[in-house]
Amino acid sequence: MRLLVFVLAWFLRAVFASRRSLTLENLALRQQLATYARTQKRPRLKHGERAFWVALSKVWQEWRSPLLLVKPATVIAWHRRGYQRYWSRKSGKPGRPRIPAEHIAVIRRISTDHPEWGEDRIAEELALKLGVTHSSSTVRKYMVRSRGPKGGQTWRTFIRNHASQVFAADFLTQYTALFTSVYIFVIIHVASRRIVLINATTSPGLAWVKQQIRQATAWAQCPRFLLHDNDGVYGQYHQRRPRGERGRRYRCHLDVWMADAMGIEGIPIPYGAPNASPHIERFNRTLREEALNHFMFLNVNHVLRVCRDYVAYYNGARPSQALHAIPDPYPELRGPLPAEGKLVALPVLGGVQHDYRLAA
């Protein structure tokens, strides 16, 4: 209020004052405001002051020239925000109107007594027995979500129970000095964190992936499950294959081939959910941070040589933080440690990593 009175008094004075004195006074005031804005923090304007500048911008075309405290775009944003609040308040609360409280209480009571009932059954119960008609989506909105044990096991429980029978596969991309894309294919044993196979190519295909799986299972124990993502290199397949009484819907040609030829059940993870296969994703990050990021590669053979040297160190000498052990330790590391020995550091990948030992 005091600001409005001051502005009104200044305006009346400006009407009756001479033009020369008014110009000098404006110059002095603007010089002081510029000094204040340079030396002090920007003050916070109150709602009345903001309303003043919004109204002034509508009645005076040159309102931007004396504005120093804020930017002109800020005043325009105040104006737009005021219109939004005005029309939001005038239009009322958006969305569907709230159903009566007694109906909500009934829905909550039924969903609490019978957590296995879905919204469709509760809606029919209300309509046929109580004469209350609501859509299934409305019933779902007010249902009490049960936190009790669900039927079947969770994904984490499944992986923990079958870790010894699960392999996980994934691709990793690396670029060479000539900007050639090299695709690194990795297969890991989930229980032991041992890298079963690693290979690289510049042109991966379904036939190449099948050959890698044959090599990975030729000398090792054939897994029961193989986790993989939904990469297009595995081939698309959306037909239902007969399997038992229900049948099985395969998502890719690789799963069909593994089920028919090798007896391995392929499990594609959900779309956009790499955390469903965290073990292979974590190894890919480790491989990139501890090996690939330290080299400038020339060709695919260079990439493959570095990857295989690091995998030998990873399987045989690098402790796994998840297992608190080494996946497949070297023979000299399987026996008891020497009682007295000298600490030595064996270079890995030219000194990028080190294998620390006690030398007798």
Helix axes 47-59, 72-91, angle to 10 degrees: 100
CATH superfamily, domain 157-329, is: Ribonuclease H-like superfamily/Ribonuclease H (3.30.420.10)
What's the rounded Cα separation, in Å, for the pair 360 and 358?
A: 6
Cα dist. 321→24, 68, 188 in Å? 76, 59, 16
In the chain, beta strands by DSSP E: 166-175, 181-189, 194-201, 225-228, 240-241, 248-249, 265-268, 342-348, 353-359
Written as tens digits, the pLDDT of the chain (360 aa) is 565 566 666 666 666 555 666 666 676 666 666 666 666 666 677 777 778 778 877 777 777 777 767 788 888 888 888 878 877 777 766 666 788 888 899 999 988 888 888 888 888 888 888 888 888 888 888 888 766 555 567 888 889 899 999 999 999 999 999 999 999 999 999 999 999 999 999 999 999 999 999 999 887 678 999 999 999 899 877 665 555 445 677 889 999 999 988 899 999 998 888 889 999 999 999 999 999 999 999 999 999 999 999 999 999 999 998 888 999 999 888 888 887 878 889 999 999 999 998 887
Q: Which residues contact 123 (CB under 8 A, 6 or more apart)?
A: 134, 135, 136, 139
C-beta neighbour count of 248 within 10 angstroms: 13
Residue whose structure tokens are 């002034």? 56
Name the segment(s) of the chain with CATH classification 3.30.420.10: 157-329
C-alpha dihedral, 290 to 294 to 298 to 303, nearest 10°: 0
pLDDT at 244: 47
pLDDT at 333: 86
pLDDT at 28: 66
pLDDT at 11: 65
Half-sphere exposure of 71 (CA within 13 A, CB side): 3
pLDDT at 220: 63
End-to-end CA distance of the chain: 89
What values do phi and psi take at 262, rounded to 5? -125, -10
